Amino acid sequence: MKLAELAAQLNSDNAAGLGLPPLIMVTDSARLPDPATAALHLPNGSAILLRDYDLAERDTLAERLANIARQRGLKLLIAGDAHLAIRVNAAGVHFPEARASEVRRWRYRKNWLITVAAHSRSALSAAARCGADAALLSPVFSTDSHPGAPTLGANGFSLLAARAGLPIYALGGISTINAHRLLTTPAVGIAAIGAFTN
């Protein structure tokens, strides 16, 4: 089964009616140098998360990805910069774990999808309290983004996600080889970087 199909299955099983994208492509200029081309291959209904906080041409890339998102039926989320998200008419914003409290400031934008990064039970609780629509919990499996970092594994992910109080995406080292291990978890979808580099 392809990654998009696995993500769609998770979304169907665990997020029916929530309107959440099944698959989120996370940008990373080091590992995914051409996110615009990769975005062209995403299935309709997927999302692009523009992370790359320090990229010099971030605004230009945001505009380019916003255009692709509109043309292809995708959602664009801008990490950490709600003002940029407004300027490019993105579908929402994503905050790093340490900035979860900023969700409250932007919650009035009812049509926005607002997600938060999380790496622990306490971070998930904070995201839920702040009113985030979903959290990206990582790292599930061993990942090139954080080599040698402890991982949750499918079981650890499942335990945290089940008690999180909000929808949870699996992030970290997910590929077509191991994504099937998430099918018995409460994940609402899959977020990835490396899976889109091929």
Q: What percent of the chain has pLDDT over 70?
A: 99
Q: How confident is the model at residue 146, as a pLDDT?
A: 73
Residues 42-79: tens digit of each pLDDT = 999 999 999 999 999 999 999 999 999 999 999 999 99
First to last CA, the chain: 16
Domains contained in the chain, CATH given? 3-196 (3.20.20.70)
Say what the pTM is: 0.96
Residues 113-168: tens digit of each pLDDT = 999 999 999 999 999 999 999 999 999 999 877 777 899 999 999 999 999 999 99
Backbone region of residue 56 per phi and psi (left: phi > 0; alpha: psi in -120 to 50; beta: other values): alpha
Task: Give every CB contact of residue 57 below 8 A, 6+ residues apart in sequence.
Answer: none
Residues 111-144: b if buried by 16+ CB within 10 A, e if exposed: ebbbbbbbbeeebbbbbbebebbbbbbbbbbebe
- The torsion defined by the Cα of 58, 62, 64 and 67, in degrees rounded to 10, comes to -170
Residues 32-47: tens digit of each pLDDT = 999 999 999 999 999 9
Res. 198 pLDDT band, cuts 50 70 90: low
